[in-house]
Structure 1
Amino acid sequence: MHAMSNPSCQQIVVVKNEKGLHLRPAELMARLAMQYEATVMVTKDDQSADCKNMLSVLTLGAVQGTQLGLSAEGPDAAEALSAVAELFEAGFHELDAE
């Protein structure tokens, strides 16, 4: 029976890059999330955004140091979640670009 249910996973991430969750990271995240079937949501306080929707991610206004919740639901939820979490962990590859 339980094989039918869509697994869901959650993780807390912190925005590390200096400029926060601006256009470029939002685009990177959307492009990455679209490679997965799972729905990946990012949550700040009581606002949620679909990672595949760049504009809704931008409306979160997440600045450097913001703690966000990531959650994923779907057949490849675990992979999608860890991929998006790694992007946050890497500071959207902006940390080394001065």
Structure 2
Amino acid sequence: MGLHMRPAGMMAKRLAETPCSVVIRCGTRSADAKSILNVMALAAKCGETVTIEVSGEDEEATLQELREFFTANF
């Protein structure tokens, strides 16, 4: 179904604690992954490719956590 409310909320909640900047890109659109409203506005559909950019302190750990999250939920 894509990146709908439940997984978007779970992801934003997990990322709220990280000091990193996390941006999700889908086509020409981008969103702050820490904001459920921004992620929902991205309107990523099932089958679309998303790119995640992580930068800042603890970026490797945050990226690994996101890989695990996407593997478990999609």
Taking structure 1 as the reference length, the TM-score comes to: 0.70
| Segments ≥4 residues shifted beyond 3 Å | none
Q: Kindly indicate whether residue 62 of structure 2 is the aligned counterpart of residue 62 of structure 1.
A: no
Q: Of residues 65, 69, 72 in structure 2, which corresponds to 1:87? A: 69
Give yes or no for contact 1:33–1:51 (8 Å, CA) kept in 2. yes
Greater strand proportion = 1
Give yes or no for contact 1:50–1:57 (8 Å, CA) kept in 2. yes
How many aligned positions are there?
A: 74
In 2, Cα distance between equivalents of 1:78 and 1:68: 18
Q: Of residues 26, 37, 52 in structure 1, which corresponds to 2:19? A: 37
The CA RMSD over aligned residues, in Å, is 1.2
Matches within 5 A, 1:5-84: 19-84=1-66
In 2, Cα distance between equivalents of 1:86 and 1:60: 21
Give yes or no for contact 1:32–1:84 (8 Å, CA) kept in 2. no
In structure 2, runs of 5+ residues without a counterpart are: none
Give identity over the alignment, percent: 34
1:85 Cα deviation after fit: 2.1
